[in-house]
Amino acid sequence: MHYVAVSLAMLLIGTAGLLTRRNIVIILMSIELILNAVNINLVAFSRHHGNAAGQVFAIFVIAVAVAEAAVGLGILLALFRNRETVQVDEVDLLKW
Amino acid sequence: MNLEALFFYAFTTLALGGATLAITRRSAVHAAISLMVSLLGVAGLYLLLNAEFLFVAQIILYIGGILLLFLFVIMLVNLDAGRGLRQFHQRWPLGAAVTVIAGVAFAILWSRAVLPPAQTMPDVGNVELVADTLLQDYLVPFEVVSLLLLVAVVGSVLLARKRA
């Protein structure tokens, strides 16, 4: 199953971007990459098992990704309006 | 090398290369365009996996919907101010270490996996098959997802509107 290796590589690229970048927009893009890696896995195993349930799950994942992107970007706009920044490490009001 | 393997490697290169570019570019617009390349590669992989419905959904929803949303927000928010700044935060080695550990762990799990024998899909069209599964076996989750989308739309409008 080469597709699982592709999915793993994509997951790791997404994780690296999520954990190291400062820009919130890029972090949201990394989350999309991770969700896409999950989808590749779901569709690959859906074909392997000869069962369409995996593809239905991938549709649900896409729907949740849309909701997450909409809310995340809404938060980003509100944050930019209040703090004039999109760098995550400058948003440290609640940091102890 | 047969044609399917050729397409597999081509789409994989698109998906992984685009993803790598997306998380390393300085400009957010360049990152969004790279993400589009990556998502197109993933759509091609869906096509190779006989998931035609997801191929179309990926292009319409991800590239036409989510990516457009990203581009709109990038243009609303002045991101050019961040171009000259550091792109990685101070504790990035910790994040990189976590990524490497996760990668090694998943690779070990993957190499030890024992898969059941492959089975073939029922001999009907992909869209028909997905529709039957979605609207018969997963009808309640389907309705719950529509509720989630409604809540997300209302919530994001509430979050993003200007305070009076």
Tell me the three-class secondary structure of chain A, residue by residue: CHHHHHHHHHHHHHHHHHHHECEHHHHHHHHHHHHHHHHHHHHHHHHHHCCCHHHHHHHHHHHHHHHHHHHHHHHHHHHHHHHCCCEHHHCCCCCC
Please compute the mean of the pLDDT values over residues B65-84 and round it to a whole number: 80
Looking at residue B1, its pLDDT comes to 66
| Banded model confidence at residue B154, pLDDT cuts 50, 70, 90 | very high
Assigned domain for B88 exists: no
Indicate the residue type of B35.
L
| Banded model confidence at residue B82, pLDDT cuts 50, 70, 90 | low
Q: End of a domain among B53, B83, B113?
A: B83
* Residues B79 and B7 grouped into a single domain: yes
Domain of B14?
Answer: 1-83
DSSP state of B88: B
Report the CATH fold assignment for A2-89. Helix Hairpins (1.10.287)
Please compute the mean of the pLDDT values over residues A6-25 and round it to a whole number: 91
Q: Which of residues 37-66 of B touch A (CB under 8 A)?
A: 38-39, 42, 45-46, 49-51, 53-54, 57-58, 61-62, 65-66
Indicate the pTM of the whole model: 0.90
Looking at residue B18, its pLDDT comes to 93
| Banded model confidence at residue B164, pLDDT cuts 50, 70, 90 | low
**Region for B130 from its dihedrals, namely left if φ exceeds 0, alpha if ψ lies in -120 to 50, beta otherwise:** alpha
Proportion of chain A above pLDDT 90, given as a percent: 52
> Could you tell me if B104 lies within 8 Å of chain A, comparing CB atoms?
no
Looking at residue A16, its pLDDT comes to 92
Domain count, chain B: 2
* Residues B75 and B134 grouped into a single domain: no
With an 8 Å Cβ cutoff, are A73 and B69 in contact?
yes
Do residues A64 and B150 make contact, with C-beta atoms less than 8 angstroms apart?
Answer: no
Residues in chain B within 8 Å Cβ distance of A63: 145, 148-149
Q: End of a domain among B31, B51, B83?
A: B83
**B126 vs B58 pLDDT, higher one:** B58
> Closest partner residue to B153 among A43, A70, A88, by Cβ?
A70
Cβ count near B145 (within 10 Å): 18
Assigned domain for B118 exists: no
Cβ count near B23 (within 10 Å): 24
Chain B: give the shortest CA distance to residue A93, in Å.
17
Assigned domain for B71 exists: yes
Cα–Cα dist B44/B51, whole Å: 10
Q: List chain A domain ranges.
A: 2-89
User: What is the CATH number for B21?
Assistant: 1.20.120.1200
With an 8 Å Cβ cutoff, are B73 and A4 in contact?
no
Cα–Cα dist B135/B125, whole Å: 15
Res. A86: pLDDT tops 90: no
Looking at residue B100, its pLDDT comes to 93
Please compute the mean of the pLDDT values over residues B104-115 and round it to a whole number: 87
What integer best gives the mean pLDDT of chain B? Answer: 87
Chain B: give the shortest CA distance to residue A96, in Å.
17
| Banded model confidence at residue B81, pLDDT cuts 50, 70, 90 | low
